[in-house]
Amino acid sequence: MEDFYERLAGLLSEDCIRTEEPMRNHTTFRIGGPAKYYVTPKTQKELTEVVGLCRRAAMPFCVIGNGSNLLVNDMGYRGAVVSTECLTWWENRGKTGPDTADEGIVLTASAGILLSRLAKAAAGEGLTGLEFAAGIPGSLGGAVVMNAGAYGSEMKDVLCWVRVLDRQGAVRELTLPQLELGYRTSCIEAEGYVVLEAGLCLKKGSREEILCKMEELAAKRREKQPLEYPSAGSTFKRPKGYFAGKLIDDAGLRGFRIGDAQVSEKHCGFVVNRGCASAADVISLCGQVRRRVKERFGVELELEVKQL
């Protein structure tokens, strides 16, 4: 471990490396034990070098963005958590080239930028298409991995290409079909890719109309979602032909609680942290919810939240 730290320190400045860092400080659930190493590369080159070091040293590692869809074990993570929080640049590349099927304006951004910030940047440029993402609390990288979506739109509707780091340490550029985007899924996790940056194909629009739409969606989110408590967003994937929140509600589980983990009284599709919930509380509660829904309706709920 000491050797790994020394090698890590040879790649990054001291302020980019923390040891035994509480992960509750880096997840929107505000839950999680300490990471052995918490690393914040400042450039794509540093990110690539850190991932390469972890692989050569057989050090378990996980790349995260805003920790918005993540439940970390109470015992923590005995490896390296590599955060993209410092990789937040974006730029307007102008019109797409002749090889792009749907001509528009390409906004390029790095993996760590928050979707909310990117949506505001697009609005500032008078570009439409990303309004749905303004209230999603995750980073661009995480949104690409899970094909994040809201209000009838998904990342697949705006992505042109994604630049990734593969298992061999090579940088590859994937086209939209190569990403194999589906409902809350892509090929990225299965292939062991790390998202570096992405190009979004947007359209010119009215800045006033874009901002109005963003505020309209934000109002809906405030009205229907339990934003007053820490959570990881929608806890369960939408089962085909059903809505997870309605199934949970109809099973009589609105407000169901184990410790400080609770099925939201405002939206049953969310499990919230009422104060000092542990990961064990959340896992136990989710297990009970899945069992009750299965018994009552014969539907198997699948977790949307990733566990570390």
Q: Would residue 234 show up in a list of annotated catalytic residues for this protein? A: yes
Catalytic residue chosen out of the listed positions 68, 234, 264, 278: 234
Q: Hey, how many other C-beta atoms are within 10 angstroms of the C-beta on 56?
A: 10
Q: Please say if 184 is a catalytic residue.
A: yes
Q: Give the whole-angstrom CA distance, residue 27 versus residue 281.
A: 16
- Residue type, position 9, single letter: A
Contact 285, 262 (CB under 8 A): yes
Q: How many CA atoms lie within 13 A of 104 on its CB side?
A: 23
Residue of 46, 85, 154, 304 marked active site: 304
Quote the CA–CA distance of 83 and 78 in Å, as a whole number: 15
Active site residue 116: no
Alpha carbon of 77 to those of 61, 67, 69, 273, 285: distances in Å?
9, 14, 16, 20, 22
E strand map for 205-280? 231-234, 257-258, 261-263, 270-273
Q: Which residue of the set 184, 254, 274, 290 is catalytic?
A: 184
3-state secondary structure of 284: helix
Q: Which residues are catalytic?
A: 184, 234, 304
